[in-house]
Each structure stands twice: as structure tokens, then as C-alpha cells.
Amino acid sequence: MKFVTIKESHYAAELAVLKSRLESEGIECRLKNELTTQVMSHIPSFVVELQVLESDLERVIQILKEIGELPNE
């Protein structure tokens, strides 16, 4: 199981809505560096990464386009 990063932010809360949407579609997600960013919030170089399984990436891209996170081609 390989995870890939689809979006990054300095604040986990900014990724929560997208994570919830993907999970409601049955897509497994994780927030990499979530706790580190909370503890080290005063250091701007730390980012939280929203990750999904590589095998779900095609479906994730479709969802991101539907909700306006990615441009439709």
C-alpha cells in the first residue's frame, strides 16, 4: 500500500473538509505530519499532507475536479 500526497497545508483544519469528502466516497485517507504540525505550529516549514492510496488516485482526481479543487481539462 503506497500513499501519495494530494494536497498540503500548514493547518490540518484546512484539509479536514476534503478528507471528509473523500472518506465519504470510501477512499482511505491519512494526514501525514498532523501531530508534528500541531506541536510545532510556530515553525512555518512544517506542513500537513493529505494522502490517499495510489490505487485510488484516479478516482480522487475525478472528485477534485467535481468540487473545483482541480481544473477540468
pLDDT score for 69: 87
pLDDT score for 61: 94
Task: Say which residue the cell 490517499 belongs to.
Answer: 52
Does the residue 28 lie in any domain? yes
pLDDT score for 28: 97
Does the residue 71 lie in any domain? no
Range of the structural domain that residue 13 is part of: 3-66
> In the chain, how many domains are there?
1
| 40: confidence class by pLDDT, cuts 50, 70, 90 | low
| pLDDT tens profile 50-66 | 999 999 999 999 999 99
Neighbours of 62 (CB within 10 A): 11
Does the residue 20 lie in any domain? yes
Helix, strand, coil share of the chain (percent; to 5) = 40, 25, 35
Does the residue 72 lie in any domain? no
CATH, residue 48: 3.30.70
Task: Say if residues 14 and 20 touch (Cβ distance below 8 Å).
Answer: no
User: CA 1, 6, 42 angle in degrees (round to 5)?
Assistant: 110
3-state secondary structure of 29: strand
